[in-house]
Structure 1
Amino acid sequence: MPGIITCVAWLLLAFCVLGARPVRADGNEVWWASAEAEAKRDDYRLIDDNGLRTLVGSGADMVLLDARADYEYGAGHIPGAANLEFDLGDDLDLSREKREALAGLMGPDRDRLLVIYCRSFR
């Protein structure tokens, strides 16, 4: 379980690509190259908004997790997304309650794809 929690924490930081307005990643955005280097180093993948649309449209078996506060989730979210708020400090350690909630969302299949998004890439 610790391995999946670490992976989830890094994925949380990696998949914060959607929000009130789409985040566009192009060659002019320095943070994208930095984020890609971090993802490669820590063994996760980044996708942009078009990649997410394609993935969601594919019908793949995945957990789509909106990591924003519940009021932001309530104002609008990707259909089918579950909500579990994460804070920046959660990349260091998750509370027992949050670990249990995440495990409940993931189900028994530890190889299931987890896609996490938030309002901004932070």
Structure 2
Amino acid sequence: MSNPETTRTATVDAATLRELIASGRPPRLLDVRTPAEFETSHIPGAYNVPLDLLKEHREELRNHLNEDVVLICRSGARAAQAEQTLAGVGLPNLKVLGGGMMAWQAADAPLNRGAARWDLERQVRLVAGSIVLVSILGSVLVPGLKWVAGFIGAGLTFAAVTNTCAMGMLLGKLPYNRGASCDLDTVVGQLRTGPTAGQRASR
């Protein structure tokens, strides 16, 4: 479980990142969304290292990230968690794409696109909202069900305060969100040899 941010996360906006990518020495782009989200759309040259995998293998990744690193997710929240994780093992030169893929798409920046799938945040809203709705309606017959809705509300509040989301982490493990995969050794090899379009690391 992550702690709330105690230091300000360094960010880079979409326009500046485009300039950096076009420069002679672009930063490493680590996309920490789920493989399914990554397959839907990603920045050309990005490496997909889902947040849970990044946390598990942070020491190994640190040994292969010597240049500037920009962390990417849908809105910036998961990337901020990834920044804290990698900073915790002594990795410098970390930045988060401000506004995440939403800002990148809004800037009409280049994208590699695949089959469309729901992003993780949207899935969380659907599941949480459905549980609350069913609990409230069901409480007409079983009054105790209203506490299920209260539990979900408390969980969402805790997620906002701590900048974590247990439901999102659980949903991220579903087959729908895993997509195609390769092992971490593959992406480590890619990090050694240089950026190529749309690389992936998974379990």
Q: How does the TM-score come out when normalised to structure 2?
A: 0.31
Greater gyration radius:
2
Structure with greater proportional helix content: 2
